[in-house]
Amino acid sequence: MVRAILHVDMDAFYASVEQLDHPEYRGKPVIVGANPKAGRGRGVVAACSYEARRFGVHSALPISKAWRRCPQGVFLRPRFDRYAEISEKIFAILARFTDLIEPLSIDEAFLDVTGSSRLFGAPEDIAREIKRVVRAEVGLVASVGVAPNKFVAKIASDLCKPDGLLVVEEDQVRGFLDPLPISRLWGVGPRTTERLRRYGLRTIGDVARLDSALMAPILGSEREELLLLAQGVDDRAVTPESPPKSIGAEVTFPQDTGDVDEILRTLLALSDRVSARLRRRRIAARVVVLKFRDETFTTATKSTTLPEPTDVEEEIYRAALSLLERLPWRDRKTRLVGVTATHLGPPRAQLGLFVDPNRVRKQRLASAVDDIRERFGESAIRRGALLKKGKVP
């Protein structure tokens, strides 16, 4: 049986939310991302309105470049809490049409509406209705791709933006994919594109027509999947939300720093953030990863496995500190540090295992802090060590 998969994707999501909340920004080039600091800012564009795209601005563009290309733009810092709020409304709308929803990001999802036809009509009608309701109830514009599988549905919505609706029937799939560049294939980024180019492969059709056996040296271990994708075959199911595999926080310093104190304070703040998010989800981590980037943009990660799972800030911080000592360089300035918790699972207490009374005290303290922050905001309460020097990043 042919499935009916929808890919729903909001157009210029962050920028559109800003234009929704601030009517005076409508019709203007809105650029959401890092602080441009008059062209000297660090970071990139997170999202921008279609008005801004006419100036050559796009997401992931360095913010300094965006400033130069579009000095008259409305530059805004992201308000993730607000975007999450709107996102919830959108997902609530999607849930009216099917239970089979797989979120891809804050503003994007796959829907399997194969079984929804009796109630809601043909897939194309469902897509049109979703667009109508999202616009009427939220005030934002979505694009929707409809196809027999996820891969084709995703490409369809990408290609019909903005405010698009594109249906690709099963017998149209090959003709639809063939002329597209190989970089449209899932999992084919700049590196793989370059490698495939060297073999003269430019379009998805070029890949689809290859002989699997001959491809071995070209594509490596993932050749079967890639070949099938290129041929428009994708059996992956639409699977509702799964628990996170890792939770991390990282920060790029406004200026590269050689100040050990600043680095330590930052690691503490990051450990704090990560542990709070672990506790909120009632999970604990067995592995802590420290990420470090120096002034030459060289990046290293070091990880360590803890004797037992933790959600306690102090333990994560101590693990990060022990990893700091194993870093390969000392003489270069630091651009970025990050702390990530992985190998997540239930905390010991939930498993019914013995928990050291000392840790119980720390956890109670941490939970109390969480509550205060919940009620009065993130900055309501902080560790003394964080206040010693300068501002918390």
Partner DNA sequence: TCTGGGGTCCTAGGACCC
Catalytic residue list: 108
Query: How far apart (Å, rounded) are the C-alpha atoms in residues 282 and 290?
Result: 22
Nearer to DNA, 1 or 213 (CB): 213
Please, what is the minimum distance in Å from the beta carbon of residue 122 to DNA?
A: 26
> Which residues 111-150 are close enough to bind DNA by CB under 7 A?
none
Q: Collect contacts of 63-66 with beta carbons under 8 A, ≥24 apart.
A: 63/31, 63/33, 63/34, 63/35, 63/36, 64/36, 64/39, 64/40, 66/31, 66/33, 66/36
Among 212, 305, 322, 367, contact with DNA (rule: CB under 7 A): 305
Site for DNA in 215-234 (CB under 7 A): 221-222
Q: Does 249 help bind DNA (rule: CB under 7 A)?
A: yes
Q: Which of residues 32-71 bind DNA (CB under 7 A)?
A: 34, 40-44, 46, 59-60, 62-65
Residue 299 binds DNA (CB under 7 A): yes
Rounded Cα distance, 54 and 359, in Å: 56
Cα end-to-end distance, the chain, whole Å? 54
Binding flag, residue 250, DNA (CB under 7 A): yes
212 lines the binding site for DNA (CB under 7 A):
no
> Three-class SS of residue 22?
coil
177 binds DNA per the rule CB under 7 A:
no
Q: Is 113 helix (H, G, I), strand (E, B) or coil?
A: coil
Total residues contacting DNA by CB under 7 A comes to 57
Query: Which segments of 173-289 does DSSP mark as H helices, in order?
Result: 173-177, 190-198, 204-208, 212-219, 223-230, 260-280
Binding of residue 248 to DNA (CB under 7 A): yes
Report in angstroms how near the CB of residue 328 gets to DNA at its nearest.
7
State which of residues 115, 175, 179, 301 lies at the interface with DNA (CB under 7 A): 301
How far, in Å, are 67, 310, 378 from residue 367 at the CA level?
42, 14, 13
Write each residue from 70 to 109 as x if it is in contact with DNA (CB under 7 A), else as -, in one continuous string: ----------------------------------xx-xx-
Beta bridge partners of 166: 145
Task: Find the binder of DNA among 304, 308, 324, 373 (CB under 7 A).
Answer: 304
Q: Name the residues that contact DNA, by CB under 7 A.
A: 34, 40-44, 46, 59-60, 62-65, 104-105, 107-108, 154, 185-193, 221-222, 244-252, 277, 286-287, 296-297, 299-305, 326, 328, 335-336, 338, 340, 343
